[in-house]
């Protein structure tokens, strides 16, 4: 019997625009000011440093690491705050959460906790638990082991949990491998299949009618 619905965050509940702005515009802008470069040169420098670390290391996701590495004298909360007006929930999110409110709702994201809290804002109230793969499990990707940990922490068997997200490997294949149910959210409509949905309203309908 299904009891829990787990949601990815970026690209699923919230558009990726905010995260992109923080890393690709905010961080380079601070670097430019601090080190006296123009913005394009600073951006090239900053992205070069990101690439040296790479997304397989935890530091990639860690704002404080980058602010220290670049010697930026701003609090990470203040940088997030600059772009907070750019946080965009997808339009059907609240309606879908309302429709699914009979289930326990959780978030399973690979974003660092500081991003999750800012991006979800008041939406946090909908969720019983929020899991950050990087902050809570020290895992850089949402592997099947992350989903097993989520189930264990919730005290649920994997068959009681369904995960929805917009990354085919990390939000669909990985939870299936861990024994959960999963729906692949394809907002661009590139894939089709019985477990592919175009938005969260469609996901809610599928879950409630299955």
Q: How far is the CB of 110 from Mg ion (least distance, A)?
A: 8
Q: How far is the CB of 170 from Mg ion (least distance, A)?
A: 8
Q: Which of 4, 8, 181, 185 binds Mg ion (CB under 5 A)?
A: 8
Inter-axis angle of helices 27-35 and 39-53, to 10 degrees?
120
Structure tokens at 47: 């992205």
| DSSP state letter for 106 | E
Task: State the Cα angle at 187 between 180 and 143, rounded to 5°.
Answer: 35
Q: How far is the CB of 150 from Mg ion (least distance, A)?
A: 15
Check if the beta carbon of residue 159 is closer than 8 Å to that of residue 190.
no
Structure tokens at 160: 């009681």
Check if the beta carbon of residue 195 is closer than 8 Å to that of residue 184.
yes
Q: Which of 11, 33, 60, 141 binds Mg ion (CB under 5 A)?
A: 11
From 4-12, 72-80, 138-146, 200-208, give the range in contact with Mg ion by CB under 5 A. 4-12
Q: How far is the CB of 48 from Mg ion (least distance, A)?
A: 25
Total interface residues for Mg ion by CB under 5 A: 4
User: Does position 10 bind Mg ion by CB under 5 A?
Assistant: yes
Of residues 50 and 168, the one with the C-beta less far from Mg ion = 168
Of residues 11 and 179, the one with the C-beta less far from Mg ion = 11
Of residues 15 and 145, the one with the C-beta less far from Mg ion = 15
Q: Which of residues 166-205 bind Mg ion (CB under 5 A)?
A: 166
User: Does position 136 bind Mg ion by CB under 5 A?
Assistant: no
Q: How far is the CB of 18 from Mg ion (least distance, A)?
A: 13
Q: How far is the CB of 29 from Mg ion (least distance, A)?
A: 25
Q: Which of residues 140-169 bind Mg ion (CB under 5 A)?
A: 166
CA 101: distance to chain centroid?
Answer: 20
- Strand partners of residue 14: 10, 89
Cβ-closest position to Mg ion? 11
**How crowded is residue 67: how many other Cβ atoms within 10 Å of its Cβ?**
18
For the chain, helix (H) and strand (E) counts, in that order, are 11, 6
CA dihedral 115, 117, 121, 123 (to 10 degrees): 110
User: Does position 119 bind Mg ion by CB under 5 A?
Assistant: no
Give the interface with Mg ion as residue ranges (CB under 5 A): 8, 10-11, 166
């Amino acid at each position: 019997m299904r009891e829990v619905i787990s949601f990815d965050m970026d690209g699923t509940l919230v558009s990726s625009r905010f995260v992109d702005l923080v890393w690709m515009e905010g961080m380079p802008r601070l670097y430019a000011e601090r080190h006296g470069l123009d913005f394009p040169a600073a951006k090239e420098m900053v992205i070069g440093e990101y690439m040296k670390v790479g997304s397989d290391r935890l530091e990639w996701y860690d704002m404080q690491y980058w602010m220290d590495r670049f010697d930026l004298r701003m609090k990470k909360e203040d940088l997030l705050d600059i772009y907070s007006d750019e946080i965009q929930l997808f339009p059907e999110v609240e309606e879908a959460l309302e429709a699914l409110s009979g289930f326990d709702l959780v978030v399973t994201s690979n974003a660092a906790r500081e991003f999750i809290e800012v991006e979800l804002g008041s939406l946090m109230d909908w969720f019983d638990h929020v899991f950050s793969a990087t902050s809570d499990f020290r895992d850089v990707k949402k592997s099947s082991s992350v989903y097993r940990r989520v189930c264990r922490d919730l005290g649920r068997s994997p068959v009681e949990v369904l995960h929805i997200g917009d990354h085919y490997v990390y939000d669909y294949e990985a939870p299936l491998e861990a024994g959960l149910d999963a729906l692949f959210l394809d907002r661009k409509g590139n894939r089709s299949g019985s477990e592919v949905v175009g938005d969260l309203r469609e996901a809610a309908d599928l879950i409630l009618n299955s």
